[in-house]
Amino acid sequence: MTAKEVLAELQSLGNPGTKKTLMRHGAREPLFGVKIGDMQKLRKAIQSDHGLALDLWDSGNYDAMYFSSLIAEDERMTKTQLRKWAREAYGASLNGSVVPSVAAGSPHGRDLAVEWIDRKSDLVASVGWSTLSLMAMVKPDDELDFSLFQKLLARAEKEIHAAGNESKYAMNHFVIATGSGIAPLFDTALATAESIGVVEIDHGQTACQTPFAPDYLRKVEAKGRVGKKKKSAKC
């Protein structure tokens, strides 16, 4: 399929209610309001198509940008392409899950995530923290740099309350993801979460709530799911 054909298909799947919800969460025109479940049906038909993914991202349509992450071949993403996507991830799910899911699956995830969290842009920094969160939840422990995650837990503890809204949200999830996905760091993550305490985040006109990290981690522990990895960073 071509990008034009996919855009036409996405438009046919658009839902006014979904569009309204997405816009409350930060999505902006152009977009159709496609439900993730409907995207998955189209994803199964295409499987993966890296060139198509790049074209769809460049369309600027929110639904197409989201869908591009589902069919991208993560291992083929270059640092240049990933940096471009991170710069253009303007909000909604783009910076929180779309770009991070591709970056985490690429060979450049770690290096770029460390680069991004130092950016002045709140959005780009949040892409970095979210990428690291997904790596903690997906990558086998022997592929992770524990010392880096320990260092960044300390950094989150120190910086989170003064961080921008997007980074603050991503850092809170980083603490949760590190403790949940990396069993040897659970105690450190829990202690960090307790030290951080309540994190105040502006969720705008949405019903979203900020997870209280200590309680979240204890629930993960109670369910015996500490260290359990996800099969994929993608939805």
C-alpha 44/C-alpha 49 separation (Å) is 11
Cβ-proximal residues to 157 (8 Å cutoff; 6+ apart), any chain: 192, 195, 196
Collapsing DSSP states into helix, strand and coil, what is residue 151? helix
C-alpha 233/C-alpha 173 separation (Å) is 14
191 and 147, same domain (yes or no): yes
Contact 103, 112 (CB under 8 A): yes
59 and 82, same domain (yes or no): no
42 and 95, same domain (yes or no): no
Q: What is the pLDDT of residue 100?
A: 98
145 and 204, same domain (yes or no): yes
Q: What is the pLDDT of residue 235?
A: 76
36 and 141, same domain (yes or no): no
Q: What is the pLDDT of residue 184?
A: 98
Last residue of a domain, one of 53, 72, 91: 72
Give the type of residue at 201: I
For the chain (235 residues), the mean pLDDT of every run of 10, in chain order, is 97 97 97 96 95 98 98 98 98 96 98 98 98 98 97 98 98 98 98 98 93 98 98 87
* Tokens encoding 224: 């015996």
- What's the pTM value of the predicted model, to 2 decimals? 0.96
136 and 195, same domain (yes or no): yes
Last residue of a domain, one of 44, 72, 100: 72
142 and 167, same domain (yes or no): yes
User: What domain count does the chain have?
Assistant: 2
104 and 38, same domain (yes or no): no
Contact 50, 117 (CB under 8 A): no
C-alpha 205/C-alpha 130 separation (Å) is 22
83 and 56, same domain (yes or no): no
Q: What dihedral do alpha carbons 156, 129, 220, 205 form, nearest 10°?
A: 100
C-alpha 78/C-alpha 82 separation (Å) is 6
User: In which region does residue 125 sit, left (phi positive, over 0), alpha (psi from -120 to 50) or beta (all else)?
Assistant: alpha
Q: Quote the domain boundaries for residue 37.
A: 1-72
Q: What is the pLDDT of residue 151?
A: 98
C-alpha 50/C-alpha 67 separation (Å) is 12
63 and 106, same domain (yes or no): no
- Per DSSP, the residues of 158-207 read HHGGGS-HHHHHHHHHHHHHHHHH-GGGHHHHHHHHHHH-------TTS-
- Tokens 């892409």, located at residue: 127
111 and 199, same domain (yes or no): yes
User: In which region does residue 16 sit, left (phi positive, over 0), alpha (psi from -120 to 50) or beta (all else)?
Assistant: alpha
Last residue of a domain, one of 40, 72, 104: 72
113 and 221, same domain (yes or no): yes
Cβ-proximal residues to 29 (8 Å cutoff; 6+ apart), any chain: none
